[in-house]
Structure 1
Amino acid sequence: MALDPNHAPVIFSIGHSTLPYADFLTRLRRCDVTAIADVRSAPFSRHFPHFNRDVLKTALIDDGIAYVFLGDELGGRPSEAESYTDGIADYEKMARSPSFQRGLDRLRQGARTYRIAMMCSERNPLDCHRCLLVGRALKHAGVAVEHIADEGERLTQDDIEARLMAMANKFNTDMFAGEAQLLTDAYRDRARRVAYAEQHPDPALAAS
């Protein structure tokens, strides 16, 4: 069912974490979500197999919720070497890639028809690229973003940015830096703490 064209779309985000499927579905229902955009680079869960890609897709469709996998375009573990800085996924570089922009366009276009929630695994949006990378880019593009947190709490991207600034202790710390630069620094600081880091084999083990 098409959404009201006069109503600005909202794109939600949710982390499945350790939720039972029924609780996950309840959170989606509370926000009237009609489609899931899976932004996990690896759409599998060893300990919670009901969130494995094919199993989840089937369950959601049975419950009347559409599913699309966008992990290749919007995932947090890029395959391109140029998307890393010092071995850590660099969200600012990733946001400039053509693939990411295509994924973002698909989200925005889909939001005209569906009430979308992008999904990853991390419980806290401040620990996840769906917030620090995708949510940030969506807000920059003029799209409202709301993160479904614990107990169904909903945080806007503005709420997230206020928390980022407080966590980074960036308020009034540099009299010469504008607010935009302080926020950029806060995003960058948090991203480097939580972004995916390349795994390098132990040379000693490799030689044994």
Structure 2
Amino acid sequence: MALLPTIWTIGHSTRPIGEFIELLRAHSINLLVDVRTVPRSGHNPQFNSETLAETLREASLTYLHMPALGGLRKARKDSSNDGWRNASFRGYADYMQQDEFRNALEALMTHGRQGSLA
């Protein structure tokens, strides 16, 4: 069995971009995988995908957008995940059962085996 990679999580909140980059560096993360379905922030434009990718590149870090891992999924009418009261969570649980999600998760794990990522 292949070793499972360590995949860190991070959120940008309202922090300055420099602080965000320092958090990545503090954990030796060299690849940031953006799983947001809509990779934009109305209040923090430094975290819009184009700006973030460029800033990370300038800091010798890599940016990868993987929206196939993101949220905003609709629940199926025939959902078997009826334990979720929140329709968004139920929709994501339904989506996690599809090949598109499994393929994206496997791609994420492959990246994780090649280096430290968040």
* TM-score class, shorter: 0.7 to 0.9
TM-score normalised by structure 2 residue count = 0.83
Which ranges in structure 2 are unaligned for 5 or more consecutive residues?
Answer: none
Residue type of the alignment partner of 2:54: T
Q: SS in structure 1 opposite 2:52?
A: helix
Separation (CA, whole Å) in 1 of partners of 2:117 and 2:37: 18
Give the CA deviation at 1:114: 2.0
Instruction: Label 1:81 to 1:8 Cα distance change in 2 as closer, same or farther (>3 A).
Output: closer
Give the CA deviation at 1:62: 1.1
Instruction: Provide the residue aligned with 1:51 in structure 2.
Output: 47
Tell me whether 1:26 sits opposite 2:32 in the alignment.
Answer: no
Q: SS in structure 2 opposite 1:26?
A: helix
Count, aligned residues: 110
Tell me whether 1:36 sits opposite 2:22 in the alignment.
Answer: no
**Normalized per residue, which structure has more strand?**
1
Larger Rg: 1
Aligned partner (choices 64, 71, 75) of residue 70 of structure 2: 75
Tell me whether 1:63 sits opposite 2:37 in the alignment.
Answer: no
Separation (CA, whole Å) in 2 of partners of 1:21 and 1:75: 22
Residue type of the alignment partner of 1:99: E
Which ranges in structure 1 are unaligned for 5 or more consecutive residues?
Answer: 1-6, 118-208
Listed as ranges, the matches of 1:150-165 within 5 Å are none
Q: SS in structure 1 opposite 2:9?
A: strand
Cα-Cα RMSD = 2.3
Separation (CA, whole Å) in 1 of partners of 2:29 and 2:86: 36
Output one character per residue of 1:88-120: Cα deviation in whole Å (capped at 9) or x when no partner: 121321211111111101111001212110xxx
Runs of 4+ with deviation above 3 angstroms: 83-87
Separation (CA, whole Å) in 2 of partners of 1:82 and 1:66: 35
Give the CA deviation at 1:9: 2.7
Residue type of the alignment partner of 2:87: I
Residue type of the alignment partner of 1:113: Q
